[in-house]
A and B are shown apart, each in its own frame.
Chain A
Amino acid sequence: MNTNRTSIAAFALVGVAALGIAADSENTSGVAVPETPAFDVADADAAGKVIATHADLYDRGWRDEVTRGRMTLYDAGGDSVERTFSRMAYERADDGDKLIIRFLSPAEIKGVAALTFENPGSSDDNWLYLPANKRVRRVSGANNTASFQGTEFTYEDLGALDPVEYEWRFLGKTTLTRGEESIEVYKLGATPTYSDTGYSRLEVLYSVDGFRQERIDYYDKAGKHLKTRDSRDWKQLHGRFWRAFTIDMTNHQTGKRTLLAQERYFLNLSLYTSKKTGKPRSNLPETMFTTQALQK
């Protein structure tokens, strides 16, 4: 028997209460948790891919998302500006997701919106709407590495990590300490396989239970540590899907930070009942994620 062989399931029952995260005990989403595959850490590449693929699969079935949040940008000296934004996402079962991010304040940036179609295995489609000239503009892959409206997030960072767009490697199982919180995590290395990227590699920490993407460390093309994306204040919505209510992106080379704090989070709208009608809501139609809808 290979003593390195283990099962993700073996780590899956770590008490979430001990980690300071919030969870319903019952899955009311109607989406079952996928069976956890086994992996052999002796084959680090295969193990990494299994974990990353399972983490992606684990988070499938949420259908749609509507959030509203606050974005605070800090410079190295501690000066800051604040913006509010909304975000809508549409899950496509066998394809990349679609999402719209729109700024709500301050007035100078209000209405600026971005639409992204994630294309697994190839460049994403990106559009930008600028209310000043009331035009939707398709932007090229060269924009992928550019800052999204002055934040520490690039267009590349807006979407989810697609497992097919990286070469994965299992780097070990470790403990992530965040204040008094200790979280068992898998540490994976990820090398982008697409060209329009600003990164040479990533290090991704997935929680052993729930496969939450707790932290991502980004390395620039020269291999130097560039940024850390720290996701915290996790909540399990509908007893099934984990969502971080705070995402902290820190640039280690410039000392700048962008802090996203979600204030409203609606996941799978069909699970909510409207007071107006007394009936379950409909999910967002895919037609809301179009270049026409971006202008509204």
Chain B
Amino acid sequence: MTTSPHRSLVAAGVVFALLAGSAHAQDIDDILDDLEADVEEPAASRAVRDDIGLDGVGPDDEGLGDLLGDVPESAATTSTGRTWIRGITGFVQIEGKRYARERRRGRDDEQLLISAEVEIDLRLGNGLTGYVRPRLLVEALHGELERFEPYEAYVTFEGDGVELRVGQFVENWGIVDTYNPIDVINRRDLGSDFLDPDRLGEAGVRIRKQWAGGETFAEPTLSLYALPAFRRTEFPEDDGRFSFGTATQPFRAAGGFEPSGSEGHFWGARFQTVLNTAAINSDTQLVVSHGPERTPTFAPRRREVAPVYYGVTNIGAGIRGVPNEDVLGEFLSKLTLKAEVVYKDAYSFSNAPVPTPDDYLAYVGGVDRAFDRVFSDLDQLTAMVEVAGETGADDAASQFRPFKNDVVLRLFWEGNDFARSSVELRALVDLDEDERIYELIAERTLRSIDEDLTAFVSAQVFHQPDNGRTLFDLFPNNTSVSIGLRWDF
């Protein structure tokens, strides 16, 4: 029996109806907007002030009197009540990118990337809010990339401790910093950035219930996900530097093997809690999901290379915590400990022409340590070490997964100066193969021009083993330098 997307949504609605109480939107902006717009001076205080003639005392000085009747400038009145844009933020960015080695003789590989992203917060009234985040990305020199992605576009209804979100959204299940094996819900845009790809929105429903919790298990939160529609992962075009195709076998994202019907449904559950124990206070989560793996394997098909999607049942956990000094000592209490582990049980879809990938366990563990006043009186340096690996799989697909046995070192320096200068250095080292990737990102606002204008320089250096046994060795050397400007608004 197949289940339609509509049926998934109906099921989600029923669960929400069972969990939800009355409409009850609560967030900081709501409170401030509400207070500033509608708060009346407390009657008792007003009487006191009138009686004793204490000008400048009481609610006027609390900033209330001049706000009576005040409504945000962007407010609009509709026949069904007040609807307004609570906030618009975003950025416009231009980035020039130059590669150290051209792919082919005479090939101009330089890129000029222009991107813009807007975040629009909407208050729709009666516990209902909206959020829209479209992004535009264009490669202006050769037209290699053209993206107009509605990353996120959803409405959220907030009841008494229960929240229903419907639309397209991005969820970050990750706990650690560089590689998140537990973060399986969103597809990635591998065409725009292969190393740190953007998450692409998934359309569906999320129901979240939060309980009061206790001292040990604080903020217990259960989120249920139903994502009924299968959508393809974005891959580099054939003229991209990370293309999976070759001159004789071009890559075609639409030409692969995909789930059909209910095979494309993705179901997920995530339980989060703030776990307070004698030894460690931590943010902990458990996740379970079932559905198409967001990154497929690949297989030749006719004269092309095509993606082959398969399904996975994921069972995982993550923790990020700070040890308590009284039990574990001062040294450990300065560290932030973090770990993710997920067991992936793969299954094939009905039309898959290749063997199902092996089941495996993927894991990451690491520590952060912050140091302040390193080079100046306000700066801070965060050092990070993470070890990532996997075990249990020996199939062909596993050979080209990244982070099979890797160490990641990261230094992040924040100047905390007026220009908000920062420098990030990262090294990814494959312990099995002679593969290393180094990254540098430096940013600084150009205050003399505009306080929201930021200049940045970044570099990626690839050291590849040239033995064809690693993922990045499948591609030409992509060592590059970028320089750009970003204006936030």
Chain A interface (Cβ < 8 Å from any Cβ of B): 22-26, 28, 66, 68, 73, 75, 79, 81, 86, 88, 100, 102, 106-111, 122-123, 125, 131, 133-143, 145-147, 149-150, 195-196, 235-239, 245, 251, 253-254, 256, 262-267, 269, 271-276, 281, 284-288, 290-293, 296
Residues of B within 8 A of A22 (CB): 54, 56-57, 61
Residues of B within 8 A of A263 (CB): 63
B333–A66 CB distance below 8 A: no
**Residues of B298-318 contacting chain A, CB below 8 A:** none
B451–A142 CB distance below 8 A: no
A266–B57 CB distance below 8 A: no
B334–A275 CB distance below 8 A: no
> Could you tell me the distance between the alpha carbons of A147 and B415 in the complex, rounded to whole angstroms?
10
Q: Which of B48, B420, B452 contacts A26 (CB 8 A)?
A: B48
Residues of A within 8 A of B368 (CB): 140
A266–B62 CB distance below 8 A: yes
A88–B451 CB distance below 8 A: no
**Residues of B314-370 contacting chain A, CB below 8 A:** 320-322, 324-326, 330, 333-336, 368-370
**Residues of B227-271 contacting chain A, CB below 8 A:** none
Distance from B38 Cβ to chain A, minimum over Cβ atoms (Å): 4
Output the nearest chain A residue to B221 by Cβ-Cβ distance: A292
B417–A123 CB distance below 8 A: no
Q: Interface stretch among B29-37, B136-144, B401-409?
A: B29-37
**Residues of B46-90 contacting chain A, CB below 8 A:** 48-49, 52, 54, 56-58, 61-64, 67-68, 89
B26–A285 CB distance below 8 A: yes
B89–A111 CB distance below 8 A: yes
B42 within 8 Å of A by Cβ?
yes
Known: A110-B89, A139-B370, A141-B334. A25 touches B54 (CB 8 A): yes
B371 within 8 Å of A by Cβ?
yes
B274 within 8 Å of A by Cβ?
yes
Residues of A within 8 A of B418 (CB): 73, 75, 79, 81, 150
Residues of A within 8 A of B5 (CB): none
B219–A195 CB distance below 8 A: no
A86–B32 CB distance below 8 A: yes
Would you list the 7 A-B pairs with minimal beta carbon distance, nearest first? Answer: A28-B44, A264-B63, A150-B416, A146-B372, A107-B488, A142-B334, A296-B27
Output the nearest chain B residue to A274 by Cβ-Cβ distance: B38
> Could you tell me the distance between the alpha carbons of A134 and B186 in the complex, rounded to whole angstroms?
14
B370–A146 CB distance below 8 A: yes
**Residues of B196-215 contacting chain A, CB below 8 A:** 208, 210, 212
A150–B170 CB distance below 8 A: no
Q: Which of A146, A235, A266 contacts B39 (CB 8 A)?
A: A266
Residues of B within 8 A of A134 (CB): 170, 172
A291–B489 CB distance below 8 A: no
Distance from A118 Cβ to chain B, minimum over Cβ atoms (Å): 13
Chain B binding site: helix, strand, loop or mixed by DSSP? mixed
Residues of A within 8 A of B68 (CB): 275
A147–B57 CB distance below 8 A: no
Residues of B within 8 A of A238 (CB): 42, 44-45
A251–B377 CB distance below 8 A: yes
B282–A108 CB distance below 8 A: no
Interface residues on chain B, size class: 35 or more
Can you sample 28 A-B contacts with CB below 8 Å? Answer: A86-B32, A106-B488, A109-B420, A111-B89, A135-B172, A136-B283, A140-B334, A140-B336, A140-B369, A141-B333, A143-B370, A195-B325, A195-B333, A235-B62, A239-B48, A264-B32, A264-B35, A266-B39, A271-B42, A272-B35, A272-B41, A273-B42, A274-B34, A275-B40, A291-B274, A292-B221, A293-B26, A296-B27
**Residues of B150-197 contacting chain A, CB below 8 A:** 161, 170, 172, 174
A137–B320 CB distance below 8 A: yes
Residues of A within 8 A of B488 (CB): 106-108, 110
Residues of A within 8 A of B57 (CB): 22-24, 235-236
Q: Which of A131, A143, A195 contacts B330 (CB 8 A)?
A: A195
Distance from B147 Cβ to chain A, minimum over Cβ atoms (Å): 19
Q: Which of B40, B43, B62, B451 contacts A108 (CB 8 A)?
A: B451
Distance from A295 Cβ to chain B, minimum over Cβ atoms (Å): 9
Distance from B164 Cβ to chain A, minimum over Cβ atoms (Å): 14
0/1 interface trace, chain B 463-489, chain A, CB 8 Å (1 if under): 000000000000000000000000011
Extra contacts, 14 of them, besides A26-B44, A102-B28 (Cβ < 8 A), are A75-B418, A79-B418, A106-B452, A107-B488, A108-B454, A138-B283, A140-B322, A140-B334, A150-B416, A236-B57, A264-B35, A272-B42, A288-B31, A290-B219
> Could you tell me the distance between the alpha carbons of A263 and B34 in the complex, rounded to whole angstroms?
16
Residues of A within 8 A of B15 (CB): none
B281 within 8 Å of A by Cβ?
yes
> Could you tell me the distance between the alpha carbons of A184 and B17 in the complex, rounded to whole angstroms?
60
Output the nearest chain B residue to A127 by Cβ-Cβ distance: B283
Residues of B within 8 A of A286 (CB): 212
> Could you tell me the distance between the alpha carbons of A195 and B374 in the complex, rounded to whole angstroms?
19
Distance from B321 Cβ to chain A, minimum over Cβ atoms (Å): 7
Residues of A within 8 A of B172 (CB): 133-135
Distance from B120 Cβ to chain A, minimum over Cβ atoms (Å): 14
Output the nearest chain A residue to B223 by Cβ-Cβ distance: A292
Residues of B within 8 A of A111 (CB): 89
B35–A266 CB distance below 8 A: yes
Residues of B within 8 A of A245 (CB): 61
Known: A134-B170, A140-B334, A264-B36. A122 touches B326 (CB 8 A): yes
> Could you tell me the distance between the alpha carbons of A147 and B266 in the complex, rounded to whole angstroms?
43
Known: A143-B370, A147-B378, A266-B39. A196 touches B219 (CB 8 A): no
B48–A24 CB distance below 8 A: yes
Known: A288-B27, A296-B28. A273 touches B40 (CB 8 A): yes
B445 within 8 Å of A by Cβ?
yes
Residues of A within 8 A of B89 (CB): 107, 110-111, 131
B380 within 8 Å of A by Cβ?
yes
Residues of B within 8 A of A140 (CB): 322, 333-336, 368-370
Known: A66-B35, A147-B378, A150-B418. A142 touches B369 (CB 8 A): yes
> Could you tell me the distance between the alpha carbons of A24 and B417 in the complex, rounded to whole angstroms?
41
Output the nearest chain B residue to A277 by Cβ-Cβ distance: B38
Residues of A within 8 A of B52 (CB): 25
Residues of A within 8 A of B54 (CB): 22, 24-25
B447 within 8 Å of A by Cβ?
yes
Distance from A152 Cβ to chain B, minimum over Cβ atoms (Å): 8
Known: A73-B418, A100-B28, A135-B172. A287 touches B210 (CB 8 A): yes
B416–A149 CB distance below 8 A: yes
Residues of B within 8 A of A135 (CB): 172, 174
Q: Which of A28, A108, A284, A296 contacts B45 (CB 8 A)?
A: A28
> Could you tell me the distance between the alpha carbons of A143 and B336 in the complex, rounded to whole angstroms?
10
Residues of B within 8 A of A276 (CB): 34, 38
Distance from A55 Cβ to chain B, minimum over Cβ atoms (Å): 22
> Could you tell me the distance between the alpha carbons of A139 and B345 in the complex, rounded to whole angstroms?
33
Output the nearest chain B residue to A264 by Cβ-Cβ distance: B63
> Could you tell me the distance between the alpha carbons of A149 and B210 in the complex, rounded to whole angstroms?
30
